[in-house]
Structure 1
Amino acid sequence: MALSARLEFRQGQGLVITPQLQQAIKLLQLSNLELEAFVEAELERNPLLQRDERDSEPEGDASSEKPEQYSTDDIPVGAAEAEMDTSHDEASPGERATGDASGAADAGGAIDWSKAGRGGSFDTDGEDYEGADTRAKTLAEHLHDQLSTSGLSGAEAAAASVLIDAVDEGGYLRADLAEVAERLGCGVDLLERVLGVLQGFEPTGVCARSVPECLALQLKDRNRYDPAMAALLDNLDLLAKRDLAGLKRACGVDDEDLREMVAEIRALTPRPGAAFGGEPVQPVAPDVYVREGQGGMWNVELNSDTLPKVLVDQRYHARVSAAARSDQEKTFVSDCLASASWLVKSLDQRAKTILKVASEIVRQQDGFLAYGVEHLRPLNLKTVAEAIGMHESTVSRVTSNKYMATPRGLFEMKFFFTSAIASSEGGEAHSAESVRHKIKQLIDAEKVEKDVHSDDRIVEILKEAGVDIARRTVAKYREAMRIPSSVERRRMLKEAV
């Protein structure tokens, strides 16, 4: 078979992302701290960029955003005149490049975006990424990773996230459950149930509220928690004073048993979170404020303190461009102008996009703001994206590392996205939390052995109530609530009789 060379033409379609769109995508996903660091670096690098100091003047507060005010029935989502739908999954990125400021079309390489991410320094090279990826995982990250696979969802997952954020570096929960319950608008029993799940996470003993509770969790994990150990933990002050006689009386044990018990206590870890990496604590500043208005309205406004305020110094540009002689100097001035113009426009579009997404989230989750965490509605990225006319990837970038201050506390925007369970009758979807509550009610109603429902029977009952759910999902929810299987429940009821 002879080989021969030939030339042929093929026509096809391909998606090309313009440099401007790449810049906008990366700018949108930066947190306010990362954005501040990047803008500071640009102010030093670009002589045509200048900090906007007009906010200090009494008049002309042109850069501030007016609050969005709306009722739950009618929300004006058109606050952003220039929508920045930065998804590369949508068509014609070239169309979005039109209408840019003068010279912005040439700004592709003017801004070095390769260093804008993860809050690293912009004065170093890309080696910082390797260091950031290999840094020790923090305790909070470790707990959140376990939360994602714990089976908790809906209100319980939201409450668990709040409790994890209140865990200190040592692994102790530094929050009062009654205060958290009041702030979230839920019952203390729900938080107690969630805390029980969190205390089953690794490392053993985490999320305890005191040293005795931390040690008790570790002893239970080793199957060494008995009444004598419980008495010892209740009298740790006597152990600290070396009052062995008092400990023996309190625990009801002899010298040899006491020595073994004390040895076991010393083998435990009083600070279970100390094994995890730490990082400098940085205060979280909200990107959006949500305040209660009149007549069931919610005011949504951007936090102007987190918005970098820069402008292009046109006077200085006119001066240096007139003085430029060589082609190299003229090119440098032109690139600086294009870079500065694009950055100013992108910052404005980013702020308006965040406001638009936040307003839709508040409209969807008004029940949570008004009544508490148990009224979180099922919500996903697609629902918000369709409501505001953007792509899911854009909403995902907007909600990542962005925080919303509400009357119920400070939450990351991703907090408001909860899972849903479809209705078998084609009606409105059920939230996962409401389904879990129904499962718990069915099991709590079991009084005698013959009333015990298997997981399959619970599936049938829920489907009769219009909830389409799989048996494995029922089992997952039951285990997450620390409810034994039907076989174990029957045995327990039989023994109780």
Structure 2
Amino acid sequence: MALEMKQQLRQTQQLVMTPLLQQAIKLLQCNHLEMLNAIEAELRENPVLETAANDDDAPNADSAVRNDLDALQDMTREPERPESDVFDIAWENYLENFGGDRDGRHSDGTDRMPLENIRSKASTLFQYLLEQLRLSDLNDADRAIALELIGNVNEEGYLDVDLSDIADAHGIDVAEVERVLREVQKFDPPGVAARDLRECLLIQAQNLHPPDSLVIRILQDHFDAFRKGKFDELIRKLKVSQNEAKDAIRAIASLNPKPGSLHSNSDTVYVTPDIYIVKIGNDYSIIVNDEGIPRLKINPLYQKELHSKDCSPLTKEYIHEKMKGAVWLIKSIHQRQRTIYKVTESILKFQRDFFDKGIDHLKPLILKDVADDIGMHESTVSRVTSNKFVHTPRGIFELKYFFNSGIPQGKESIASESVKNHIMRIVKNEDPAKPVSDQDIVEELKRSQIHIARRTVAKYRELLGIPSSSRRKKRF
């Protein structure tokens, strides 16, 4: 077959994601806080866009989203007066004039930032251990080894490196690294730099005051039996009474299996609901959370400049593009709020029994059901419900929570979340000395007219983080 080169003309159609369309899709899947950050970023980058003052006449909602840029000339309000920037503070003078007075003023009479408004930064576990290393009496060679050991301690406080690797890096015996490791393990918090859970608990047990020899014996010689819950075997091998074993096990349970968690810098993540469902009488009202969302408008100075005769074509093109982006952003925000409202309204219609009666009446629901109900694509519904929360009379839930698979029960189906709630309630009400097995849960669910297999119960139990009945059993 001969090869040849030739030209062909072909006409095809394909969907192109413009930057403005990408921005609209990104806003749609952002939660409330992420959208506020996106708006702030756009306000910094787009000089045409600005926030309207509260005392300004609110523009008509339709005019805010019109595509015709020439129609925006009627917005002739003066631009909002910018607020003073926190970075305008003369920090050099602040540091020079800082004194020991407590009246909140400098010696020259100027104000200064109160100390209670300055947030202190918590030290990490590495910094805390490094500070103790500086105060230790180790020599320079041991300090170098200890520094490498500290650098390989993870956030939970465990050592994540093999001692032979450190020994090879320093050209010394493993016994020398072991000796330095024992010094590091004397640092606070107790149990830090341990290589496994047994060593971590043993270090803490040796620091108990007064020391408990029985606890140390259990951790040193019978840790596997303790970990597996074979307490009868422990009592027999240790030749102690049940009360003595009981006290020792309680002492071990009081130890911290993750000593590094005390110095964790993970910030608490707060949830801001994107929408509220409020019950008024026998009906429900849907309120979209607009708190903190600024009312955006086009800067009138740029509108005048766009139609000025003295404006160069290049400047007009720049202003036109920025105004187009600003109007599209305003439209996207309004469209996002309307879409969230429609999706929530549809969820409320499908899951009305949940809001009236509780989780046991949650129904199976898929994205296609809501998409068909509101006349949108499934991908749009998926973006709207992703990482967004709704505040209801029954608590705060992620919008994805209301979408769950169904378990066939004859002609009808029951939601998987409802079955999980039944399992959780059964386990919560069980006798700790005789916990229910998976088969017992199956029989109990049958009494509630829920027929599922034992393997399904085991799967849902694992998803809920509930251990097996043998591990839940309390011997004492």
Q: 1:291 aligns with which of 271, 278, 300?
A: 278
Match of 1:416 in 2: 402
Q: Distance in 1 between matches of 2:249 and 2:364?
A: 49
Tell me whether 1:428 sits opposite 2:394 in the alignment. Answer: no
Give TM-score, length-normalised by structure 1: 0.49
Give runs of aligned pairs for residues 289-438 of structure 1, distance below 5 A: 289-294=276-281, 296-314=282-300, 316-319=302-305, 321-322=307-308, 324-423=310-409, 427-432=411-416
Give runs of aligned pairs for residues 199-210 of structure 1, distance below 5 A: none
Contact 1:289 1:404 in 2 (8 A): yes
Match of 1:494 in 2: none
Deviations 1:278-317 (A, max 9, x none): 13x35432221111123x2100011221433211234541
Match of 1:226 in 2: 231
Give runs of aligned pairs for residues 53-64 of structure 1, distance below 5 A: 53-54=53-54
Give runs of aligned pairs for residues 29-428 of structure 1, distance below 5 A: 29-54=29-54, 101-102=67-68, 222-224=227-229, 226=231, 251-252=243-244, 268-269=256-257, 278-279=266-267, 281-294=268-281, 296-314=282-300, 316-319=302-305, 321-322=307-308, 324-423=310-409, 427-428=411-412
Q: Distance in 2 between matches of 1:416 and 1:52?
A: 37
Tell me, what secondary structure is at the counterpart of 2:308? helix
- 1:273 deviates by 5.6
- 1:25 deviates by 0.7
Deviations 1:374-413 (A, max 9, x none): 2221122121111111111111111122221111222221
Q: Distance in 1 between matches of 2:405 and 2:329?
A: 37
- Residues paired across the two proteins, number: 304
Tell me, what secondary structure is at the counterpart of 2:304? helix
Deviations 1:61-113 (A, max 9, x none): 966xxxxxxxxxxxxxxxxx9xxxxxxxxxxxxxxxxx961369xxxxxxxxx
What percent of counterpart residues are identical?
A: 35
- 1:320 deviates by 5.3
Q: Distance in 1 between matches of 2:425 and 2:331?
A: 54
Question: Residues 283 and 476 from structure 1, CA distance in 2 versus in 1: closer, same or farther, beyond 3 angstroms?
Answer: closer
- 1:277 deviates by 6.5
- 1:228 deviates by 12
- 1:60 deviates by 5.6
Q: Distance in 1 between matches of 2:351 and 2:258?
A: 40
Give TM-score, length-normalised by structure 2: 0.51
Q: Distance in 1 between matches of 2:398 and 2:342?
A: 16
Q: Distance in 2 between matches of 1:352 and 1:320?
A: 31
Deviations 1:426-477 (A, max 9, x none): x3322235667999999xxxxxxxxxx998xx89x99xx897x777536535
Match of 1:25 in 2: 25
Q: Distance in 2 between matches of 1:441 and 1:404?
A: 24
Question: Residues 356 and 274 from structure 1, CA distance in 2 versus in 1: closer, same or farther, beyond 3 angstroms?
Answer: farther
Tell me, what secondary structure is at the counterpart of 2:271? coil
Deviations 1:253-298 (A, max 9, x none): 6xxx98x86995687516696697713x35432221111123x210
Contact 1:102 1:341 in 2 (8 A): no
The residue type paired with residue 271 of structure 2 is V
The residue type paired with residue 51 of structure 2 is R
Q: Distance in 2 between matches of 1:2 and 1:35?
A: 58
- 1:26 deviates by 1.0
Moved runs in structure 1, 4+ residues, more than 6 A? 218-221, 227-230, 260-263, 436-442, 478-485
Q: Which has the larger radius of gyration?
A: 2
Contact 2:351 2:362 in 1 (8 A): yes
Which residues of structure 2 form unaligned runs of 5+?
Answer: 71-154, 157-196, 199-214, 216-222, 427-436, 471-476
Contact 1:379 1:419 in 2 (8 A): yes
Contact 2:49 2:298 in 1 (8 A): yes
Q: Distance in 2 between matches of 1:33 and 1:41?
A: 13
Q: Distance in 2 between matches of 1:31 and 1:359?
A: 18
Q: Distance in 1 between matches of 2:309 and 2:425?
A: 80
Q: Distance in 2 between matches of 1:359 and 1:277?
A: 39
RMSD, aligned CA: 5.0
- Of 338-347 and 314-323, deviating more is 314-323
